[in-house]
Structure 1
Amino acid sequence: MNRPLLMGLVAIIAGILLSFWQMPLWMVLVIAAMIGALPLVWEAIPRGFVVFSLVCYGVGWVSAGLAFMPETDLAALQGDQRVTAVVEALSGNDRDKTTLRLKTQTISDQHRSIRLQATLAHYDSPMTKLPEPGDLITLDGELSLPEGSRNPGGFDYGLYLKGQGIQGLFYGKNGSSPIINGQDNALGYSVERFREQVLGVITQAFPEEQAEVMKGLLLGDKSMAADLKTQFSNAGISHLLAVSGLHVGFLYTLVLGVAALLGLKERGRLFLLLPCLAFYSALTGFSPSVLRAAIMLLVLVGGQVIKTHYDGLSGLCLAAILILVVSPAQLFAAGFQMSFGAVCGILLFAKPLCYSIMKGTGLQGNIVNTLVLTLCATIGTLPATLYHFHTLNLVALVSNLLLVPLAGLLFTIGLPMVVLMLVLPGLTPVFASVPGFLAHWILKLTTFFSGTMDLRFNGGPMGLLDIVLLAMAAFTVAGYFNFRHRRERLWVCTALPALFLSVIALSLLPGPLRVTFLDVGQGDSALVQTPEGGAYLIDGGGYPVYGDKADHTRQAISEKVLLPGLYAYGITRLDGVFITHHHEDHAQGIEELLGLLPVEHIYVSTKYNDVALLNQDKIPISQLSRGAILRTRDGVGVQVLWPDGKVEALEEGEQNDASLVLRLTYGARSILLMGDAGLGVEAQLGAVDSDVIKIGHHGSATASDTGFLEQVSPAAAVVSVGRYNTFGHPDGTVLTNIEATGARCYRTDEQGAVVVETNGQNLEIKTMLEKE
């Protein structure tokens, strides 16, 4: 055991996880005792390694406890506030809004120093002057605390902001501009202003799309248009736009070129590299992936100076430990996991794989090296990729062969050319010609790979056994096991099939009936998963509605909520979808899904004139009415309680009372879903005793009569409703009626998605946001 830093990294991760999961103190102490007792079990472990691991374990536990401590004092300040703050960075700016990172000085005249992410909306009146980093500003708006993920597979915005050191959110009033009171000229703000200056020069020097590529590649700027981001994602090269170790490698290449011109040796290269790395890290906002690569590179170059053998895995562990000590929340960040996973995959598998391929095929050269590096990085990032993005894009294996070298060339030429544009602005067209040519071809190739090669595979997150199986297979293919030795051959040939069969067996075990009421804003959507793997979607939500206008500028509900939720549960096809009625806030998400994943059957309440349904003829459509009963192969029943007979296509105002009313049954338990059916329908349903009811019409006063709820006699009621909706949902009378029945009320606007699970006897209800 000659890697103490690896032990230290495992220990600090354990400490952080125990603190994050709020494990009891006795468990923390028991695990500490187990670490301390390791030399008794494994004599090869030096005691010094154990002491170091215990220190890392304790530091991880304490630092995470401080980082994830609830912001109870800040919670009391939520609501309308006036803040004075320093602008630390301009995070984003487009036609409708500007995003700033602020460090407050006062909140409503009370001295408070916290970091906020502020969004300034200017839909009606564009801002005449943008604040700059270092500006001292006064701003009126609403302060709130960031929340976690509201849906399965959703983005945990609160945890992401924790990793950025941001404690709260601030929303400026629409059209209001901050009052600029002066400027702080601290070095950090000067670097940010220089960054904004560089971005401005790039914007002016290049056509729009070329400028976006340059800003993303050189500085990790995130303002790229959504459709261009999608192209880079589809081509498998999104990592080129997120500053990472790859970019630090490009920078090192540039530094080596300058050092060669100056005739510098190892020590001189180190002294040239230090300020370049420090400045580039500051310029890119001290991204964890840049810091990781910078630390590893300094260890490598420092080792060359003092003539010490460099161990890449130890360098990687050192970088991870230093980052996690400062910011424990980085452990949960996709960028951190993928950055370290990629490097770990390369360090463990690239060299033996290259050797095996070259020995077995006789192929030599950079093409083999690039292909193997990309493959190893893909293996290393696979668990994090599937967990966070639910997609594996194999086109990256081909596209990176061409685009990574091209991007490296653009970086090493483009960065000095942009600096020269700042110094000699009159020669900007000359300096921009070569970078512009390279950016043009990067765009051309990205469009080609994005449009002609679709090798994306969607799936759910990997379980622990899946990850172990992947690691075993990778180590085997890379040649870590010597098959000439009978014991190793027997061990591998037994372990791999056993792991594979275990994964298959676990996937075949029956689970509970799970109904997840997704938070789709002001709309309805319920995902039904049957015990043996059947999957059905009842409504799919739609675009948020403000007044009488749907906001079609927002991300599609299928991309934002439905697909991540399905993939989080490992669902890549639906056995059926139910459209309770044809209002946008129920049907639109379903319509979007039809072209995105296989659907076996569509069930509707009324004849339809919907374009999405009329234009497809591959999926059978059934019109349901009262008395119909559908049964799944694993014993789940779907009773149709309404509408009362076949209904023709209806006008907009007649849709609600033609909603499908469904009652799911499994064993002794039942769940009633009311769609948008109102009081008139309730009066005709009669006694429909159910354990859980999805309240009709988002808690509107047009539904959920006291007498009806007493007949249903639910133990729990779910209200699917949007935050900040303009309809006053849920109505106070409805909430009173629910309370009168003794049912516990769950609301998606306050608690996010609501998950109901039953084995046919017991009933368990969980929410994504733990709020009472």
Structure 2
Amino acid sequence: MKRPVIWFSAAFAAGVALALRSFSLPWVLALTLLAGCFLFGWKCSAFRPVCVLLAGVLSGLCYTQAYHAVIQAPCAALDGTSKSMIVEVTDFPKQYDTGQRVEIRVIGSRIGCPLNFRTLAYLPKTEQDIKPGDELTATFDFYIPNQTQGFDRASYYRSQGYAILAHVNEEFGMVVTAASHRPLRYYPKAFAQTLRAVYMQHGTERQAAFWRALTTGDRTALTTTDTDHLRRAGLSHVIALSGLHVGFLISMLLLLLGRKIGTYLGIPVLLAFYLMVGWSPSVVRACVMYGLILLAFALRKEYDSVNALFFALLLILLVLPDALLSVSLQLSFTSTLGILCFAWKYQHIFSVPKRMPRRLKKVYRGVMGSLGCSVSSAALTTPFLLYHFGYLSVFSIFSNLLALWAI
């Protein structure tokens, strides 16, 4: 069977999707069927592809059920409770008119939960700046968000890794304790915060908002009007951290340091970039794929892009099965798959004419390459865009051609 990673990963994702749709199998039956698939596939090579697909579906189904029972259920059980505790801040807070929101790490043993977990907490305004590594002492009210105007907020936050949210009960106050020694893992976050401050010093408020979104993924400063215009023009992916940004980062590294040094430094840089921008399925997908490219360069092995894409999908779903609900992951994955499957065919059809002047050949290749990527990406993302947003920008292909050159 050729490229089993692709078939197994796709089937695993299908099993995860079934589990997320509340489909379940008794554990004994599911494990028996899974064992039967492996044994039958091992003995009968003719049925091996079918057994791999069935094993993938059953694995995704069982794994997601186990993840929800062991990881999510204890967190969800905190819904409606209040806990006085000390938590660690893991990011810089996002500021709002009436308060601020920050990611925190909760030590489960302090509140009777079997596992440590991270969540988003809504806090009142504070005179003291809150930084990663600081500790908050307060009473937190836990809750599972409800639907707002048809938007399933609970599923959205689960896809980001937050099974439950919290807010500080202001009646009991809150104490911020600055970290005496900031852990090394928070330095990329501090670098991103420094970038935001530099942007505010050297640009207008609107310019700084775009720069922050382009480089750090922080879109909170963008106005509703600008966000809506980008979405209608089909350019939302430009301000959503994805393979575009990771590709620029690695290309710049290879260009400045050379292929050898850039290859060996690339993986640590990818890790630092991930720590800087935080968990995002599209960023993880891009970092895994580019990490495999650099590893293939270093080991002088052949690189298979489609295999790497499906391996990245499998890795993401193993870490967080609910990430399959993420619109970001769906669009990032289908867009990349469309480019890998169709872009080369498009460029082959519209190859450079032999009689074209040499000066125009590079321009022609650039234009056709950009159009090919846009058309190939739209081929698979269109159904998802129509499903999630209810409309499709007819100008997206041309706006991408104009905007990507500038970016």
Q: Give the structure-1-normalised TM-score.
A: 0.47
Flag the 1:315–1:335 CA change in 2: closer, same or farther, 3 A.
Answer: same
Letter in 2 for 1:301: L
Structure 1 distance, partners of 2:268, 2:230, is 32
Secondary structure at 2:90 match in 1: strand
User: Residue deviations 1:384-403, cap 9 Å, x none?
Assistant: 22222222112111111121
Name which of 160, 163, 172 aligns with 2:159.
163
Structure 2 distance, partners of 1:191, 1:180, is 22
Letter in 2 for 1:66: A
Q: Specify the alignment match of 1:326 in structure 2.
A: 319
Q: Specify the alignment match of 2:66 in structure 1.
A: 66
User: Residue deviations 1:442-501, cap 9 Å, x none?
Assistant: xxxxxxxxxxxxxxxxxxxxxxxxxxxxxxxxxxxxxxxxxxxxxxxxxxxxxxxxxxxx
Name which of 191, 209, 214 aligns with 1:212.
209
Flag the 1:15–1:28 CA change in 2: closer, same or farther, 3 A.
Answer: farther
Name which of 149, 170, 192 aligns with 1:195.
192
Q: Quick check: 318-327 or 301-310, which moved more?
A: 301-310
Letter in 1 for 2:236: S
Q: Specify the alignment match of 2:145 in structure 1.
A: 146
The alpha-carbon deviation at position 119 of structure 1 amounts to 1.4
Secondary structure at 2:301 match in 1: coil
Note the aligned Cα RMSD (angstroms): 3.1
The alpha-carbon deviation at position 192 of structure 1 amounts to 2.2
Letter in 2 for 1:162: R
Structure 2 distance, partners of 1:28, 1:331, is 21
Are the counterparts in 1 of residues 79 and 144 from structure 2 also a CA contact under 8 Å?
no
Q: Specify the alignment match of 1:383 in structure 2.
A: 383
Q: Specify the alignment match of 1:2 in structure 2.
A: 2
The alpha-carbon deviation at position 368 of structure 1 amounts to 1.1
Alignment of 1:348-747 (within 5 A): 348-358=341-351, 364-407=364-407
Structure 2 distance, partners of 1:27, 1:373, is 45
The unaligned stretches of length 5 or more in structure 2 are none
Secondary structure at 2:122 match in 1: strand
Structure 1 distance, partners of 2:74, 2:268, is 41
Letter in 2 for 1:227: T
Letter in 2 for 1:16: V
Q: Specify the alignment match of 1:637 in structure 2.
A: none
Flag the 1:371–1:23 CA change in 2: closer, same or farther, 3 A.
Answer: same
Q: Specify the alignment match of 1:119 in structure 2.
A: 122
Are the counterparts in 1 of residues 264 and 294 from structure 2 also a CA contact under 8 Å?
no
Give identity over the alignment, percent: 24
Are the counterparts in 2 of residues 343 and 380 from structure 1 also a CA contact under 8 Å?
no
User: Residue deviations 1:585-624, cap 9 Å, x none?
Assistant: xxxxxxxxxxxxxxxxxxxxxxxxxxxxxxxxxxxxxxxx
Structure 1 distance, partners of 2:171, 2:239, is 32
Structure 1 distance, partners of 2:350, 2:380, is 19
Task: Say if 2:301 is the partner of 1:308.
Answer: yes
Flag the 1:197–1:269 CA change in 2: closer, same or farther, 3 A.
Answer: closer
Q: Specify the alignment match of 2:279 in structure 1.
A: 286
Q: Specify the alignment match of 2:235 in structure 1.
A: 237
Are the counterparts in 1 of residues 371 and 397 from structure 2 also a CA contact under 8 Å?
yes
Name which of 83, 100, 108 aligns with 2:102.
100
Q: Of Structure 1 and Structure 2, which has the larger fraction of its residues in strand?
A: 1
Structure 2 distance, partners of 1:14, 1:234, is 31
Q: Of Structure 1 and Structure 2, which has the larger fraction of its residues in helix?
A: 2
The number of residues matched between the two structures is 391
Are the counterparts in 2 of residues 146 and 167 from structure 1 also a CA contact under 8 Å?
no
Structure 2 distance, partners of 1:241, 1:73, is 32
Higher relative contact order (CA 8 A, sep 6+): 2
The alpha-carbon deviation at position 24 of structure 1 amounts to 2.3
Letter in 1 for 2:24: M
Are the counterparts in 2 of residues 342 and 381 from structure 1 also a CA contact under 8 Å?
yes
Flag the 1:156–1:187 CA change in 2: closer, same or farther, 3 A.
Answer: farther
Structure 1 distance, partners of 2:48, 2:399, is 44
Structure 2 distance, partners of 1:215, 1:175, is 35
Secondary structure at 1:115 match in 2: strand
Secondary structure at 2:92 match in 1: strand
